Amino acid sequence: MQQIISFLIKNKYFLLFLFLEIIAISLTIQSHSYHKSKFVNSANLITGSIYSNFNSVGNYFHLKEYNAQLAEENVRLKNIIAKNNNQESSKPFTKLDSLIYQQKYTFISAKVSRNDYTKSNNFLTLDRGRNDSIQEELGVITSRGIVGVTTNVSSKYTRVMSVLNENSRINARLINNTHFGTITWDGKDYNTLQFEDLPRQANIKLGDTIITGGKSTIFPEGILIGTINKFEIEDNKYKIINVYLFNDMSAIGHVNVIINLDKQEIRALENNNE
Amino acid sequence: MGYINPLVYILFIFLYPINKEKGLLLIISFLLGLSIDFFSNSGGSNAAATLLIAYLRLPILHIIQNKTEFDYLLFDIKKLNFLQILVYIFSLTIIHHIIVFTLEYYKLQGVTQIALSSFLTSLLTTLLIGFSIALFVKNK
């Protein structure tokens, strides 16, 4: 017994070091598994409020840029309306029936108060949280395309797993046919994502647009992602397909969070089948 | 990746008085690293690395000074010669950076990337820490 105590006293610094080191390493390991980084993240009240205070000053310098983005989005939306109006006008009369009409998605605007893009696992922090009805696993987009998926939510802040994260997997498809695959990131260039699992029979060309596939409850179908800027074929399979993002991930100001109103219904149905 | 972010906060480890309580240094450096982790979403990698160099600080000083015992009370970083200071700062910095980048990449395929990032970032961090010590440590 005495030997044990004297051993402890003799090595007390080493034991303290070992103890703290084990805590630190286990926090790191936890942060690398997809859902578990509950404790150390930037969505808590202290870090969140510091980041949003910093950001409220910085935002003034980007107003011009945001205006240009909004104008761009307006043009895109007006074009969509213009397209639909043409189709409608051929029909004699349409009556809106409130029983048939059903809203599937609702959008919440939020401001990015922190954005990483230089690491191998990047996250963003938003200045909205559970109080603004944001939950975990919701899609985050800008007018130009996808940004990420929410992972941790506190009462006022949200941490978003960026598409620039090695754990990120997003269902996507080509705009001109319905073959779908998965969008991932290899951790190298923050403008380029990888499009995987695309079947060989899907013909692709450089410059083809990739959009979200709508096969999950997170993103609705048709959100812009990017264009193909490089692909290689090996053994009659697509080896690499690089997708150049429409979004500039290094300059993200305002985003929209997408809430899928049918999520619970879809989940319940899918769980029933298992 | 095209970006170098120096981690100058480890300057604290170099400036913490050498004759003060050792256990306190371990706890403070762990908390310092952890607070960096909170802001940069990096789990516990900064905490682990900062703690390690806080623990290795004295052994490395022993090696550099080539003495088994030296006077804790009279120790002053400015009394070392230039080369010794450089080796002291650079060795601790590169250990710290290797740990941080390894834990951040967290896979074996990134070995070259980890080596490159840690080496380049260490150069810049060492430079900045060297300047900070030259500027802010008082000459007695």
- Whether residue B36 lies inside any domain: the answer is yes
pLDDT at A253 over 90: no
- Whether residue B127 lies inside any domain: the answer is yes
Which has the higher per-residue pLDDT, A74 or A94? A74
Q: What is the mean pLDDT of chain B?
A: 83
- The pLDDT-based confidence of B113 (bands split at 50, 70, 90) is confident
A147 closest CA partner among A133, A158, A132: A158
Let me know: does A140 contact A258? Beta carbons within 8 Å.
yes
Q: Count of domains in chain B?
A: 1
Q: How many angstroms separate the CA atoms of B140 and B137, rounded?
A: 9
- The pLDDT-based confidence of B104 (bands split at 50, 70, 90) is confident
φ/ψ of A177, rounded to 5, equals -145, 175
- Whether residue B2 lies inside any domain: the answer is no
Let me know: does A124 contact A116? Beta carbons within 8 Å.
yes
Chain CA centroid to CA A249, Å:
11
Q: How many angstroms separate the CA atoms of A139 and A148, rounded?
A: 6
What is the pairing mode between strands A192-196 and A158-165?
Answer: unpaired
- Whether residue B1 lies inside any domain: the answer is no
Query: Who among B5, B23, B43 is closest to A30 (CB)?
Result: B43
Q: Which residues of A touch B118 (CB under 8 A)?
A: none
B18 at interface of A, judged by CB pairs closer than 8 A? no
Contact A32 B40 (CB under 8 A): no
Let me know: does A195 contact A172? Beta carbons within 8 Å.
yes
Residue in A closest to B99 by C-alpha? A25
A264 closest CA partner among A110, A137, A107: A137
- Whether residue B57 lies inside any domain: the answer is yes
| pLDDT tens digits, one per residue of A155-201 | 889 999 999 988 888 999 888 888 888 999 988 888 899 998 888 88
Domain range enclosing B52? 8-136
pLDDT at A86 over 60: no
ipTM tops the 0.85 cut: no
